[in-house]
Amino acid sequence: MLIAYATPLIFTGILLLLAAAMKYLGRYAVHGKTSREALDPYACGQRDFENYVNPDYTQFFRYAFVFSVMHVLALVVTTAPRDAVLLPLIYVAAGVLTLTMIFRK
């Protein structure tokens, strides 16, 4: 019964040990002055930039969705019991239908 409480106790002990180490080693941390530029935006080595880059991920989401569908499809088909043949076939058909819907023009 004592082994059931071992993991939370070990976690709490490590957490307390790390908190004490942070408190102790915080004395040796470098504390610099806050300058006016500390909170300014900074991009690609240039200060005072005006053009922001907004990447467009709309094409990426299509492939991410395909990956998700194929991943779930492979998981269901490979973990299906041997006597359940109809369920994996339905999932494969649904996956093919999903792929044709995603890549239709």
Q: In a structure prediction context, what are the per-residue pLDDT tens digits for the chain, which is 105 residues long?
A: 566 678 888 899 999 999 999 999 999 988 877 777 666 666 565 665 566 667 788 888 888 888 998 898 899 889 988 888 888 899 899 989 988 888 786
* Averaged pLDDT of the chain: 82
- How many domains are contained in the chain? 1
Residue 43 lies in a domain: no
Residue 10 lies in a domain: no
CA atoms of 68 and 98, how far apart (whole Å)? 11
Q: Please calculate the CA angle 52-65-62 and round it to the nearest 5 degrees.
A: 50
Residue 20 lies in a domain: no
Query: pLDDT digit string (tens) for 58-70?
Result: 888 888 888 998 8
Residue 27 lies in a domain: no
Residue 85 lies in a domain: yes
Residue 17 lies in a domain: no
Residue 41 lies in a domain: no
* Phi, psi of 46, rounded to the nearest 5 degrees: -120, 135
Range of the domain at 68: 56-105
For the full predicted model, state whether its pTM sits above 0.75. no
